[in-house]
């Protein structure tokens, strides 16, 4: 199998970047559709639109309804299909950006991603994660290419909820855990081939950066400050994690996240990264990793206040039948759990999920943490 490496055409990160975005956007043309939800229009999208309009660009504003589903993608396409745009600009969180990428694919136009949080690696990826209207994982839409431009304003991100940054940290911490198993098994990555040396190095550096700077970055976010530690973690959550998962590979952590979508309840109120955090520990359990490595992750998750017990992810009261639904969903033939270099069954997943709860509770008990 060929080695393949993919990436956005251009990634730009900086404080107050939206005030000078026109210099990066103008090469794509003069007429743009900007997609954002109602809240993000007030936080950042109007600022971007005003800046671009002042430089002579034509802007059409579209409102995202909240779920990256085919119903929403088709609604937007039908509403604007008679308009002529030079590119689609998505402003907001992962679901908004994934919808913008899908819409750009239907139009066959360049796509620009402007994340307002560092909560996921969606801004740099060439894939859209599509859900049903009820929030159940549906499928991965693999686009032909990555976004043409990613603009990351760290002032905007410093003012975003701290929960979003923590969620991105959790998602980023899965990058190396999953990539190394995929690399070990020479599994085909989202890039379309086996991992390159560059892909492996980026995934590894993502983990190192987060362990080095996560707590400092969260403190800065709490005070709405832009400091080098925040800049480092924003880059890790967004660029390193995005390139790391696409070019290194995914594993069990994200498959278990998808498994959680198979049951109803408050688990759906958790963010993507919060569910991935639990899945990451469960993958380490599945792999039989040493206790010291397991506790290194558990310790950071606890310090960040991430949900890593069954009670914290609202699954402590589910039935064995519901556990089976999670296990079955996680080992669906299309799932990334099969990149692990050994066969994983639904029961293996269930055992690892339950063992994760036990290990975390035992660790807290030994440290006197309630």
Q: Of the residues 98, 190, 257, 359, which is catalytic?
A: 257
Pick the catalytic residue from 171, 190, 348, 357. 171
Taking a C-beta distance cutoff of 8 angstroms, is the pair 59, 53 a contact? yes
Active site residue 272: yes
Tell me, yes or no, if 171 is annotated catalytic. yes
Would you list the DSSP string of 145-160?
S--SEEEEEHHHHHTS
Distance CA 125, CA 98 (A): 9
Nearest to 153 by CA among 303, 44, 267, 51: 44
What Cα–Cα distance (Å) separates residue 82 from each residue in 33, 75, 77, 111, 306?
12, 13, 9, 18, 45
The catalytically annotated residue of 121, 153, 272, 348 is: 272
Residue 218 structure tokens: 């969260």
Between CA 174 and CA 172 the distance in angstroms is 5
Per the rule left: phi > 0, alpha: psi between -120 and 50, beta: everything else, 56 is left
Considering the candidates 98, 121, 254, 357, report the single residue annotated as catalytic: 254
Q: Give yes or no: 257 in active site.
A: yes
Which distant-in-sequence residues (6+ apart) come within 8 Å of 71 by Cβ? 133
Dihedral sign for Cα 123, 157, 256, 95, please. Answer: negative
Q: In terms of DSSP H, where are the helices of the chain?
A: 22-25, 38-40, 46-54, 70-80, 94-107, 154-158, 162-184, 197-222, 228-235, 241-248, 252-260, 272-287, 291-304, 320-330, 346-367
d(CA 41, CA 62): 9
Is residue 214 within 8 Å of residue 270, measured between CB atoms?
Answer: no
CA within 13 Å, CB half, 212: 14
Q: Do 187 and 277 touch, CB atoms closer than 8 A?
A: no
Is 338 known to be catalytic? no
Catalytic positions are 171, 254, 257, 272
């Amino acid at each position: 199998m060929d080695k393949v490496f993919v990436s956005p055409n251009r990634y730009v990160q900086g404080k107050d970047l939206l005030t000078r975005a026109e210099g990066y956007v103008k090469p794509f043309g003069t007429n743009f559709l900007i997609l954002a939800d109602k809240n993000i229009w007030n936080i950042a999208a109007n600022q971007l639109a005003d800046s671009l309009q002042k430089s002579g660009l034509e802007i059409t504003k579209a409102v995202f309804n909240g779920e990256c589903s085919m119903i929403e993608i088709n609604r937007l396409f039908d509403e604007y299909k008679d308009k002529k745009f030079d590119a689609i600009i998505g402003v907001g969180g992962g679901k908004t950006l994934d919808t913008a990428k899908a819409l750009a694919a239907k139009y066959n136009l360049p796509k620009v991603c402007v994340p307002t949080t560092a909560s996921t690696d969606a801004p740099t990826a060439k894939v859209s994660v599509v859900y049903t209207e009820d929030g159940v994982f549906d499928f991965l839409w693999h686009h032909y290419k990555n976004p043409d431009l990613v603009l990351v304003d760290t002032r905007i991100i410093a003012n975003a909820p701290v929960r979003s940054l923590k969620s991105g940290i959790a998602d980023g911490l899965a990058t190396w855990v999953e990539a190394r198993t995929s690399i070990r098994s020479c599994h085909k990555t989202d890039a379309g081939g086996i991992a390159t040396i560059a892909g492996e190095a980026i995934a590894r550096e993502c983990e190192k950066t987060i362990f080095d700077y996560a707590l400092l970055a969260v403190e800065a976010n709490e005070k709405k400050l832009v400091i080098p530690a925040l800049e480092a973690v924003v880059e890790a959550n967004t660029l390193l994690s995005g390139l790391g998962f696409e070019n290194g590979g995914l594993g069990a952590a994200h498959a278990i996240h998808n498994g959680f979508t198979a049951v109803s309840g408050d688990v759906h109120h958790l963010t993507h990264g919060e569910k991935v955090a639990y899945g990451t520990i469960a993958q380490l359990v599945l792999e039989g990793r040493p206790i010291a490595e397991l506790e290194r992750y558990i310790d950071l998750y606890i310090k960040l206040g991430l949900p890593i017990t069954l009670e914290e992810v609202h699954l402590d009261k589910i039935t064995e039948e519901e556990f089976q639904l999670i296990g079955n969903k996680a080992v669906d033939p299309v799932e990334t759990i099969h990149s692990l270099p050994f066969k994983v069954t639904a029961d293996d997943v269930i055992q690892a999920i339950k063992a994760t709860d036990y290990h975390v509770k035992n660790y807290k008990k030994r440290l006197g943490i309630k």
